[in-house]
Amino acid sequence: MDFSTFSERAHVAVVANAARFAERLGHDLIGIDDLFLGLLVPAEKEYVSTLERIIVVHFGVSRLAFYTAVESITVRSIDSVEAGELYTPSAKQALLDAPIKARQEGHEGLITRTDVMLAVLDSKDAVLKQIFAKTGIDLEQLKLVLTDKSPVLQ
């Protein structure tokens, strides 16, 4: 996977943070849930990530609640993957969709953490839906807040 167009923060969230969560949770591959948790981790020199701040302020859900929800999901249905693949099919698709989100958001040339998050949230992955159901967050409302299209922000 080519990360050359990802901002440094997006790259760290996708590669390093998500890989750490996958390892901690005993996942053989980095899944959509690991990407999501990786994006919640604050970037260098941040006390709280922008995404985490939005989720806590607008929805009252902490990073720990998401981590607990991910831990409680014991079965990850993964279709066959190629040898040497690091990502589940849904996580890989989200990463491939991130440049499209970047263009839609006007982030020409550089993919941001928000672009990756929007691609992750558009995933049809059942695990992600279970996580949001457990935490009580409306996925569509979160997307609106992330793209500044929500009346919550006005």
Which pLDDT belongs to residue 93?
92
Q: Which two tokens stand for residue 27?
A: 């996942």
Which pLDDT belongs to residue 152?
40
Q: Are 57 and 141 in contact (CB under 8 A)?
A: no
Among 20, 15, 42, 18, CA closest to 31: 18
Predicted TM-score of the model (pTM)? 0.82
Domains detected in the chain: 8-153 (1.10.1780.10)
List of the chain residues with pLDDT < 50: 150-154
Q: Identify the bridge partners of residue 57 per DSSP, sorted by sequence position.
A: none
